[in-house]
Structure 1
Amino acid sequence: MTIGERLKEIRDSLNLTQAEMCAGVVTESFYSRVENGKSEINIDDLLAILKQNHVSVRDFFSVFDQSMHQYHCIRSAISNHNIALLKKVQIDQPIFEVEATVIIATLLNKKVHLSDTTRRKIKSNFDRLGEWDETALWNMAGFMSLYDTNELKILVVDIVKNKNNINLNDSSTLVALANVMVSYLGRLYLEEDFGAVLEIIHFIKELPTNPVIMFSKLVAIYYLTLINHDQKRLKLITEVLQKNGYSNYLAWLPKR
């Protein structure tokens, strides 16, 4: 939810027009653009609007605290391949139902079935080539099922090209990047594009040696052992994943 969407929600609950809601603080035309996500309101004007309409600041922002908690849960579910948690989100949090559906499809390497309008709307939020910060990478990690393989290739090539501009010292950003590459790896393997698989495996192996992505590096080696038909090493990696609590993830990895 955006600030504008929250303002509209509050205004509707108060049964006010846009002009009444923002009277004396900002113009109606500017306020309308804020509600529609076309302009950003500064904090002073926002607080003034809330104060004159007797809206508690805590109540106004509480929905964002809840959303952030849910987003952190979803990020954890992506990293741990926790399909059960995402299905629970679909039921308990209707506002995240579509997002959870797309993420589940991404984790299962399946095509998501959405209307073209919904698909375009979601993709428009993060289609920004060359701008791969933490948020963009997490969006990519969760919503890859919206893209066909050719589209994904364009995005992944852009990520690789801009690797030096990505803050790999930030753990959350690094985890997001690793998740993108592991999901893409799964897509390529299913399509038997083994040359590209090897390139992505190399990319993952070259990422910084940080404990937060050791699992992703293990998964990359897992795919390499599949390609090389190295059953002994495959068994060893499988046992390591099982012993470290990744049985859920392991269940969705290809076996041959």
Structure 2
Amino acid sequence: MEIGTQLKKIRILLGLTQKEFCADIVTESFYSRVESNRSNISMAKLIEILNYNHVSLYDFFKPIIQEQFEDEVIIAFIDQDVSKLKKYSETTIDGHREIIKLMAAILENKDFKVSKDCLEQMNNFVQTNDLANEKVLIVQLLLAHLSPIEDLDQIVQRLSYASSINKDNLSLRIIAQTLLVCAQRFYKDKQYESAKKALGLIDDLPNRSVLTLEKVLSKYYKALISGDAVQSKKIEKVLAKIGYEKYLKNKNGKYADSISFYL
């Protein structure tokens, strides 16, 4: 599905002209090229146009979620490899391209708005589907990045039993990363008990080599919370030595600071 084709379909259903639909967020001539799939629109502008017209981003993602993502894309998102995500976005099918752009925008702390309606629909998708489904876990990870801080306890609770029904390595990594994102955001907000709960669930995951990084980062945040400067500095040095210092960028609360919510 081409994004321009989908935009045109929604605009016609709403009974709007191109000028009315793009609302000067982009020029009418540029928007016309987007609709005819001759120009690419940025994620920020796409979301702004959808929000202006009260169209949920979920409407774009729903058919994509129902398809299978390449494992390499999921791993790149978990590994915070923005360059790989951008590379994949250039070669994948158009629908997947947009959600990959969203993943990259999250990691780059790009300034964009996500509607409350979109978050509610994503939550409904998670709550009404089996957590053993990898696609549900991916949406759950996106929600951990995008949801307001007050909704994170529900995500942690939802994942408290997920490891018992997910045994494959990739699913366990998605679960661990989701819990880690929640813990990082709780730490930033000084909700230390909630952070420790999420970190404890990471510790309870199976001791597999693919989860080594998440388990080390769990120890790191526990050290920060307990004030163990010696342990936290030791872990910082180890991660920096092996080129993983990017995972420490969020310790001072830089996670999702620039993502706002359209209410």
- CA deviations 1:101-129 (Å, max 9, x no partner) are 443455468885134565555555x3225
Aligned residues: 190
Supply the AA of the counterpart residue of 1:84.
S
Identify the residue that residue 44 of structure 1 maps to in structure 2. Answer: none
Report runs of 4+ in structure 1 exceeding 6 Å deviation. Answer: 108-111
Q: 1:180 to 1:106 in 2, by over 3 A?
A: farther
Identify the residue that residue 17 of structure 1 maps to in structure 2. Answer: none
The percentage of aligned residue pairs carrying the same residue is 23
For residues 56-75 of structure 1, the aligned pairs below 5 Å read 71-75=70-74
Q: 1:145 to 1:110 in 2, by over 3 A?
A: farther
**Of 198, 202, 208, which aligns to 1:200?**
198
- CA deviations 1:191-239 (Å, max 9, x no partner) are 1100111111211112111111010001111111211222222222112
**Of 197, 212, 215, which aligns to 1:214?**
212
Identify the residue that residue 81 of structure 1 maps to in structure 2. Answer: 80
Higher RCO (C-alpha 8 Å, min separation 6): 2
CA shift for structure 1 position 72: 2.3
Supply the AA of the counterpart residue of 1:83.
V
Q: 1:119 to 1:206 in 2, by over 3 A?
A: closer
- Indicate conservation of the 8 Å contact 2:126/2:140, yes or no: no
- Indicate conservation of the 8 Å contact 1:225/1:233, yes or no: yes
Quick check: 172-181 or 74-83, which moved more? 74-83
Supply the AA of the counterpart residue of 2:251.
P
For residues 96-245 of structure 1, the aligned pairs below 5 Å read 96-104=96-104, 106-107=106-107, 112-115=112-115, 119=119, 122=122, 126-128=125-127, 131-133=130-132, 134-160=134-160, 162-163=161-162, 165-167=164-166, 169-245=167-243
Q: Which runs of 5+ in 1 are unaligned?
A: 10-63
* Secondary structure class of the residue paired with 1:132: coil
- CA deviations 1:161-189 (Å, max 9, x no partner) are x346422x311111111011111111111
* Secondary structure class of the residue paired with 1:81: coil
Identify the residue that residue 253 of structure 1 maps to in structure 2. Answer: 250
Report which of the two structures shows the higher radius of gyration computed on alpha carbons.
1
Aligned-CA RMSD value: 3.5
CA shift for structure 1 position 82: 1.4
Quick check: 89-98 or 176-185, which moved more? 89-98
For residues 33-44 of structure 1, the aligned pairs below 5 Å read none
